[in-house]
Chain A
Amino acid sequence: MTLLHLASDLLLGAGVLLVLTGAVGLHRLPEFFTRTHAASITDSAGAGLMLAGMLLRVEDGGTAVRLLLILLFLLFTSPTASHALAQAALQDGMTPLSGARERAR
């Protein structure tokens, strides 16, 4: 197994682990704003590592460019979507869970 193949496997494995962590977080965290944190792990680190792992396996330049473009678009659009989502939720009156609110009681 060549070094490149091994490195690609490691990156893919790390990426999948992060995606699974994000998904478990999405499932288990208590409240909406905390869940956006979990979802963002998938979009940034998980996707980045997995696409980097696949990048090490490709032989052809066009495929590599496409993988880089997918990464670029995920990095552009996911934070924007989370931002718009959180802002809309705040405007609708959802308040984040915070320690200050607990202490104020």
Chain B
Amino acid sequence: MSTLLIDIALFTILTVIGLAIARIRQLFAVAMLSGLFSLTCACIFVLQDAVDVAFTEAAVGAGMTTVLFLGALALTRSREESTPRSRSLPAMLAALATGALLIYASLDLPGFAAADAPVHRHPLTARYLQDSPSEIGIPNVVTSVLASYRGYDTFGEVVVVFTAGIAVLMLLGRGAATSVSAPARVQPLHQQNRVLRVVAKLLIPFILLFALYVQFHGDYGPGGGFQAGVIFASGLILYALVFGLDAARAVAPLAVLRGLASLGVLLYGGVGVATLLLGGAFLEYGRLGGGDALAGQHLGILLVELGVGICVTAAMILLFFSFAGRGAGRPGKTDE
């Protein structure tokens, strides 16, 4: 009963944000509202007890995606044109029809948390939940499923992130080789914003340390490679925002980032090849531990999560540098 009220309130907020995103024309506001949408979704996921998903949603959806949307806005117009009536009416009918079809299809789904739902009756569920402590030995079942039982899928996901990084590099390029500083439009009240600099200097080491904590704590609580990679990238993005893109590029040169992105994927694949060479199947971690299957699983999961973290970090920073570098040298306040 108690969570029902919270659910109602959260879904109300979600609906209001959704309607606002559809109606508002100033794309800056829309970008920020979409960040809020992701954040509200993260709250809902926390309520549903899906903490790893909530973590990823908060880190990626509310942080990274908003920054990238804003970076894209810097490259285009910031105000949406109004669609003429002749196009908006059929579009609305199409959206309504699709929505109605989806709702009709969802009536076939089993009831929420029903005991006879296929996901509860399938023997694989019992196998994962009951045998995971003895076969893999880490407390967080989500990580054990993600990294070990379904390791091939996660390998695919890492390759997808890597491909996204490559695709953005190909489409947007490295950005301007030297950034052009925007002319100061108004005389600043004082020379430099020391407050922001000092606070950023204090926070950034902590953010990076926290990212490492999330990376290695993924075995015991919510966390893992994807979330850690995004948090690490956010730390560097804060550095780039406060101290300038040139300074950030000096810290993380593009060649190093490209190398790291590839290294992440190679690490993951390398673990698989190593297990092949040791006589097992691809990504059969038990072979890595000599005789001890549990130790092998621990080592394997550690290495592949590390590979995921490295690849995601490098790919996210590459995305940011591509967007920001492309926009460099285009001063001018975006109209509201």
Is there contact, CB below 8 Å, between B203 and A77? yes
Is there contact, CB below 8 Å, between B186 and A77? no
User: Interface-forming stretch among A1-9, A20-28, A79-87?
Assistant: A79-87
Measured CA separation A2–B317 after assembly (Å)? 51
Q: Which of B195-222 contact A (CB under 8 A)?
A: 195-196, 199, 202-203
Measured CA separation A91–B184 after assembly (Å)? 10
Measured CA separation A87–B190 after assembly (Å)? 10
Is there contact, CB below 8 Å, between B202 and A90? no
* Among candidates B185, B193, B199, B202, residue contacting A87 with C-beta atoms closer than 8 Å: B193
Query: Within the complex, what minimum Cβ distance (angstroms) separates A77 from chain B?
Result: 7
**Contacts A84-B193, A87-B193 hold; do A76 and B199 have CB atoms under 8 A apart?**
yes
Is there contact, CB below 8 Å, between A80 and B196? yes
Q: What residues of chain A lie closer than 8 Å to B202, measured between beta carbons? A: 76
Is there contact, CB below 8 Å, between A76 and B195? no
Measured CA separation A93–B195 after assembly (Å)? 21
**Chain B CB within 8 A of A92 CB:** yes
Is there contact, CB below 8 Å, between A93 and B196? no
Contact count band on A: 10 to 19
Look across to chain A and name the residue whose beta carbon is closest to the beta carbon of B198: A80
**Contacts A80-B196, A83-B195, A84-B195 hold; do A91 and B203 have CB atoms under 8 A apart?**
no
Q: Which of B179-196 contact A (CB under 8 A)?
A: 185-186, 188-189, 193, 195-196
Contact count band on B: 10 to 19
Measured CA separation A90–B202 after assembly (Å)? 26
Number of A-B contacts (CB under 8 A): 23
Measured CA separation A87–B203 after assembly (Å)? 21
Q: What residues of chain B lie closer than 8 Å to A84, measured between beta carbons? A: 193, 195-196
Measured CA separation A86–B295 after assembly (Å)? 54
Q: What residues of chain B lie closer than 8 Å to A77, measured between beta carbons? A: 199, 203
Is there contact, CB below 8 Å, between A80 and B195? yes
Query: Within the complex, what minimum Cβ distance (angstroms) separates B317 from chain A?
Result: 21
Query: Within the complex, what minimum Cβ distance (angstroms) separates B118 from chain A?
Result: 36
Is there contact, CB below 8 Å, between A90 and B195? no
Is there contact, CB below 8 Å, between A92 and B195? no
Query: Within the complex, what minimum Cβ distance (angstroms) separates B182 from chain A?
Result: 13
Is there contact, CB below 8 Å, between B196 and A90? no
Query: Within the complex, what minimum Cβ distance (angstroms) separates B204 from chain A?
Result: 12
Q: What residues of chain A lie closer than 8 Å to B203, measured between beta carbons? A: 73, 76-77
Measured CA separation A73–B203 after assembly (Å)? 9
Query: Within the complex, what minimum Cβ distance (angstroms) separates A18 from chain B?
Result: 19
Is there contact, CB below 8 Å, between A87 and B186? no
Measured CA separation A80–B241 after assembly (Å)? 14
* Among candidates A73, A80, A87, residue contacting B189 with C-beta atoms closer than 8 Å: A87
Query: Within the complex, what minimum Cβ distance (angstroms) separates B104 from chain A?
Result: 39
Look across to chain B and name the residue whose beta carbon is closest to the beta carbon of A91: B186
Query: Within the complex, what minimum Cβ distance (angstroms) separates B128 from chain A?
Result: 27
Is there contact, CB below 8 Å, between A91 and B189? yes
Query: Within the complex, what minimum Cβ distance (angstroms) separates B319 from chain A?
Result: 24
Q: What residues of chain A lie closer than 8 Å to B195, measured between beta carbons? A: 80, 83-84
Measured CA separation A87–B188 after assembly (Å)? 9
Is there contact, CB below 8 Å, between B188 and A91? yes
Query: Within the complex, what minimum Cβ distance (angstroms) separates A80 from chain B?
Result: 4
A-B contact pairs, 23 of them (CB 8 A): A73-B203, A76-B199, A76-B202, A76-B203, A77-B199, A77-B203, A80-B195, A80-B196, A80-B199, A83-B195, A83-B196, A84-B193, A84-B195, A84-B196, A87-B189, A87-B193, A90-B189, A91-B185, A91-B186, A91-B188, A91-B189, A92-B186, A93-B186
Which B positions have Cβ atoms within 8 angstroms of A?
185-186, 188-189, 193, 195-196, 199, 202-203
Beyond contacts A73-B203, A92-B186: 11 other A-B pairs, Cβ-Cβ < 8 A, are A76-B199, A77-B199, A80-B196, A80-B199, A83-B195, A83-B196, A84-B193, A84-B196, A87-B189, A87-B193, A90-B189
